[in-house]
Amino acid sequence: MHDGKEAHYIHPKGPDHWLLKASELQVKPWRCGFNHSRVKRSVVIQPPYKSNVRSRYVEMIIVNDHKEYVKMKKNKEAVVDRSKQIANIVNALYAPLNIFIALVGVIVWTERDEIVVSSNGDTTLTNFLTYRKEQLAQEHPNDNAQLITDTVLDSHVVGKALKGPICTHEYSGGVNMDHHEVVGVVATTMAHELGHNFGMEHDDKDIKCICPEKRCIMASASTSPPSPSQWSSCSKHYLQLAFEQGMDHCLWNLPEDIVGPVCGNGFLEEGEQCDCGPPQMCNNECCDAATCKLRPHAQCAMGACCDFTTCKVKKSATLCRDSVTECDLPEYCDGQSEFCPVDVYLQDGTECGRAYCFRKQCKSHADQCRLLWGPTGQVADRQCFKQNDLGNGNGNCGYNRINKTFTKCHKDDIMCGTLQCYHLNERLEFGMESAAIQGKLYITDKDRSYTCRSVIVDLGLYTPDPGLSPNGAKCAHNKACHNQKCVPLEKLYGTKCPYNCHNNGVSTWDVGCQRI
């Protein structure tokens, strides 16, 4: 809870609850171990309070080591509950950045540690990231994983993470020491380490950083209370740079399953009328944060069609979701529900410039080359795409990150495999360069030479590799790419619609014809 001057924490103590000033908390001196080097249920989850079309969602798993389990008197339920509380606060800290943290899993090592947890933070981080890559991500899909340990880390370090790998399969995770009984303090540490995953540096690296508090979340060390709760201008700048590089590529989907239901996690779930986050951080006048119920005067407290000033549903025909691409359509409130209607877009296969619409996106080979390599990126000659039937690092129809094997393209599908480009930029402008596999090939054919540039971008196991030709790209006459196959346009259509809806509207993916 923030009163405008400092943060307060509500801390359970036996049957009672204490209201603690952050400035009065006794916190041992600590520092972050980051060294500036790179390397469910079936219920539909509703978007969080104040989310919008630009919101990002981090599907996070929290892993608790065996020492943490012992510390909590081997009470697994207590460990899980503490993890939920920490995640709720991390979510509240990131909400002002339009980033929402969804806890999709809590793991407790009740028998033994699955990795070697060392007092050396670097060793523990390396071991944990290997565990996430080889086991956790395959068993429990996630965008990011955070380890909570009761092991005391060396040199007063309370957390470790790498910079910039938020969506990668290799490095998206962090280590956090449970160094304080108040969950808000530990949550701030986790928010800090996650900040490194988002590409943020320590605030004291740049003397020009502006912080609205004495110390912000990305401060490198803490020697006195209170625990920070705000982001500096530098953190916001680094975050924007990460977004411009496409490091948020895996964060656009709303989670389907989260740990819960939990009142206070910011997501509306079964049995709740609203959820605006932890009571100490909720500023929604329409929602009782303690009970996740509407206040007596409120008609609504969530959704893009709720007026948070009056707590009433907005009038019919009020725009609630604008179109974001030429293949997208706007949505309007119906005057009955606080939630924006389902997102509709033009039918897959609708022509859009030099490509065809697919899942509301319009991406040609040229568009994707510019995305990867910047404004000088262009599509390479077809001779380069012929390499895709070899099934190697320079040309393929897919890369399996688990067994590290390539899929060969059938000769009819070569234009839908590895995206072959050429450009004047030697630096990859999309994704984490150190986690990408770049290819460069020179081909000579009939006295002509061709430069072929390719890349395998690590954006996790479950996100399509942008280094492959995008779905909807033209690959032949009346054909488009779909999952590395060159298919007739008819295969992209969900349902057969009259051409242009008899000139009365447009075909959409879910409801057929829609009048415009």
Going from N- to C-terminal start, the domains of the chain cover 28-244, 365-469
Q: How far apart are CA 512 and CA 514, in angstroms?
A: 7
- The reported pLDDT for the residue numbered 514 is 53
Q: How far apart are CA 283 and CA 155, in angstroms?
A: 38
Predicted model pTM:
0.85
For residue 14, the one-letter residue type is G
- The reported pLDDT for the residue numbered 25 is 42
* Gyration radius of the chain's alpha carbons: 25
**Is 297 annotated for ligand binding?**
no
The residue annotated as part of the active site, out of 59, 68, 170, 193, is: 193
Which architecture, in CATH terms, is 28-244? Answer: 3-Layer(aba) Sandwich (3.40)
- Is 272 part of the annotated catalytic residue set? no
39 has a pLDDT exceeding 50: no
- The reported pLDDT for the residue numbered 501 is 52
Pair 33, 117: CB distance under 8 Å: no
83 has a pLDDT exceeding 80: yes
pLDDT average, residue stretch 487-498: 74
Quote the tokens at residue 309.
């000033």
Measured CA to CA in angstroms, residue 79 lies from 16, 108, 391 at distances of 19, 7, 47
pLDDT average, residue stretch 194-212: 92
DSSP letter assigned to residue 381 = P
**Is 140 annotated for ligand binding?**
no
- The reported pLDDT for the residue numbered 118 is 97
**Is 482 annotated for ligand binding?**
no
